[in-house]
Amino acid sequence: MFFVMVVNLGEKKYNEERGCLEIAYSGRLGLYMEHAIWKKEELTAFEVAEDYFYEKKIREASYRGELRCPDPECRNPILKYCHGEIREPYFAHRDMTECDYLEYEKSSGMFREIRRKLYEHFAGLDYPVAIEVKVLAHHYTPLLFTWEDGRKTALELGTKSTNVREIEALRVEYEEKGFEVAWLVVDEPARSVAEDHTYFMKRFCLNESGNNSLIVLGYDGNRVTQYKEDPNRYYENEKELVFAEYPRMFIKESHRSELCFEAGKLTLRGFEGQFAAYVEARKQHALGIFEEEMQEEDEEEERRAEERRAYFRRMEELRRKR
């Protein structure tokens, strides 16, 4: 379920501290969310708006005070349905209240469309996915996958402001429930990433995610870039070799439509096979350099040996002439 502070229309701005896009508003505060419960059915605001007669029915239920907040712990659970020409359709609390939606969503106002795009993409692949499910105390999981074999995978969205305490707290809570966790980092995809020269959320993914890879999703919810570092290092005279043609970080740029689960891990389609081929190509490149250097050393040694032989031949000729 989505929740964000809403007032009059404002402009999109990038928040450096939070590491995400936000909307700057002015005026009276309100509460803005995407889901509601009516007669035990979960409603999604944008789906309600797709059909005039269905929307009419929900508007009538809204006037009767029948729409409820999906959060069972919400203190003022009565919601209203809103839809006009300026804003997208949404639900809102009739009265200001304490609600876990607010704590969950107040720092990620621009993630609503991203979550929706991800949900529609994975649902289109026939994955068993649910959007924004409350399985942890005071926290909503953006996407939850419940697989046929009973496994559950929580998909979390991180930014440059996601800190180690948040990551570890979620990891512990999910582990206690037996859930796996996959992370997507919402940021502008970079052309290159150095593992030891980036923010913690990215470093965590490169070192502790399920397949030690980093997946960055652009703010448009479409562009996806996956990164993974070759664990092999190659040295010469105790100095690590750097290959311009084959940097340690393998990078694949793609689109949201290529996101999938392979071997139980979130990835771009075919990424692991391509990464394995890249690691092998990098290894062969390193071996080729070593072989060239060994050949050069052998040729240099042979040249020096020939010089020594030539020297001794001259010495022998001089001795004979005497």
Tell me: do 114 and 104 sit in the same domain: no
Tell me: do 180 and 306 sit in the same domain: yes
Share of the chain above pLDDT 70, in %: 80
Tell me: do 298 and 210 sit in the same domain: yes
β-strand 180-186 against 152-158: which pairing, if any?
parallel
Confidence band for 110, pLDDT divided at 50, 70 and 90: low
| 8 A C-beta contact, residue 58 and residue 81 | yes
* Number of domains the chain is built from: 2
Mean pLDDT along residues 276-286: 91
Question: Which of residues 192 and 296 earns the better pLDDT score?
Answer: 192
pTM score over 0.95: no
Question: Which of residues 226 and 107 earns the better pLDDT score?
Answer: 226
For residue 322, what pLDDT is reported? 67
What domain range includes position 216?
110-322
Tell me: do 99 and 25 sit in the same domain: yes
Tell me: do 101 and 60 sit in the same domain: yes
Q: What is the residue whose two structure tokens read 């959007």?
A: 131
Q: Which residues neighbour 200 within 8 Å (Cβ) at sequence distance 6 or greater?
A: 162, 163, 164
Tell me: do 309 and 216 sit in the same domain: yes
Tell me: do 200 and 305 sit in the same domain: yes
Interatomic CA distance for residues 226 and 269, integer angstroms: 11
pLDDT per residue as tens digits for the range 198-235 = 999 999 999 999 889 999 999 999 999 999 999 988 88
Mean pLDDT along residues 294-308: 68
Confidence band for 156, pLDDT divided at 50, 70 and 90: very high
Tell me: do 114 and 211 sit in the same domain: yes
pLDDT per residue as tens digits for the range 50-83 = 999 999 999 999 999 999 988 888 888 899 999 9
Share of the chain above pLDDT 90, in %: 51
For residue 285, what pLDDT is reported? 86
Tell me: do 226 and 273 sit in the same domain: yes
Residue 193, helix vs strand vs coil: coil
